[in-house]
Chains A and B, each alone.
Chain A
């Protein structure tokens, strides 16, 4: 095992180094921008801002108060594309390079079995990918915390936060690695494997984004308020954009049937149509973790499945 691990390290040390450099750069930028963010918060300008989706204005000039969160969103974007990058540049060549050059035949003709050959190189890649993605997610969380769920910061449901933080980043990185590894085994050509991995991991990333937007896997909660009583505050909830009116029989109608925010007009309109309550659909802030764990289970399960398929095919294909 030592020998094949040595070879795995010898071949992947450049990638490990690149990963470490990316992580160091991300951490340095995070430290710099986060301290700037904390300085801005310490001025007291933001103290009067309530949590909520509406932005908070300066008392004197009335201009919106916002923290500079764009670099944080870039880190979130990096975390989102991390499975694609790891899959294309790490997973695809992991077995694909040897398959293309035929070098696995030399390796397997030495004192190394197929199992050792695969296990050591995949383990090194998986451990590094886990550490890299886990630390990048941790950097994001540390940077994000002071600005989390604030009108001047970044809400949990925004794409860069929901998909660029938490355990799903680690699961996605492992999925990318497993997908690339399997496609490298099947494609026989590194370039073809890279293209297929780009496609597979890209599609998977977009599909999960789509499930977030459509709330396919995490159903929204319906918040109901009787009559013209004020609706519960939106606060940090993630609205689906679906809100409206409820009849006595329980039918949900579009809000445009009575497009009035409150008051006598609303009451008159509701009476006319026989509406007894109003509703809106949204995911509460606690659903962040539901989204996270579902994504983690889907991506982690796929990673395990693809790795098992790779191991099963290894005997026949190599």
Chain B
């Protein structure tokens, strides 16, 4: 499924993007493949490039370096526009259009349009078609924007923070609509979200970004199986990373597969006076006396998000020296 020739919803090779010619890189050296038919969560802290990545995939931005392909076509081409739908974070709609006008706009602007699907999406939210978009609540507006995206029957649906301004009930409803869409039509969905608990049951692929780089692009179940939360005596830490010189090993958040078997990767650890808790990517059997728990996807993602930056410690030292 994930081989280089399998159909991919998103495939990045050496992808780099910066907003200004002399600005910093919003994304750099991104190399990943998201298979088709998945519900993918793009996770990362604020400003790591989630929206940039989705805008690139939606064809609103162009890659400065490398390449990003959606459904094996270049984003922004007529073919890509017909097969990919993008819902941006601000969900902009014309406030003076009625809901019916907005859906009619979708019908006029797209080569294929499923009017029933669009109208059903709106109707499920009890939104009258005659209402003006400007008078709707944020949740209703999201639903109209989603109807606009679903009406074109996309093969790939890109959603940037779709739940950001919704109450919990509306979130559940929208998520249900999305899951139905994915189940009924095999639509690939890529969404960015900060609401980690919701991803637990819905997402089966995770793309984790840090500082414009891709840190994880993996199946959610594989992540759950390969990670463990260990609790034990603090002086056992050596046993996790193996007998080799610890300094030469990636102790940070590098979930790389080139770590030798038997040496687990400590993603994140919290050390108390005598006890430590660590999220590790397990490779082979554990040594030492540990209480082992299977983490939830949320725990794993939080562990990765909390893990110190590669540049982090150096930066901290510098700050201390300066102080």
Residue positions of A touching B, CB distance < 8 A: 2-4, 6-7, 10-11, 101-103, 105-113
Contact = CB atoms under 8 A, between A and B. Distances in A.
Contacts of B86: 105, 109
Task: Among B81, B108, B111, find the residue whose CB has the most chain A CB atoms closer than 10 A.
Answer: B108
Interface string B129-170: 000000000000000010011001000000000000000000
Decide if the interface of chain A is mainly helix, strand, loop or mixed: helix
Nearest to B81: A111
Contacts, number: 64
B60 A108 contact: yes
Nearest to B86: A109
Interface string B56-100: 001110000000000000001010011001111011111101000
Contacts of A108: 59-60
B101 interface: yes
B148 A106 contact: yes
B26 to A, nearest CB: 16
B105 A109 contact: no
Contacts of B90: 102
Task: Among A6, A103, A105, find the residue whose CB has the most chain B CB atoms closer than 10 A.
Answer: A105
Contacts of A11: 94
B93 A110 contact: no
A4 B95 contact: no
A249 B74 CA distance: 78
25 contacts: A2-B108, A3-B108, A3-B109, A4-B109, A6-B108, A7-B109, A10-B97, A11-B94, A101-B94, A101-B95, A102-B88, A103-B94, A105-B92, A106-B145, A106-B148, A109-B58, A109-B60, A109-B149, A110-B81, A110-B148, A111-B81, A111-B110, A111-B111, A111-B152, A112-B109
A102 B110 CA distance: 19
A111 B82 contact: yes
B189 to A, nearest CB: 15
B16 interface: no
B108 A103 contact: no
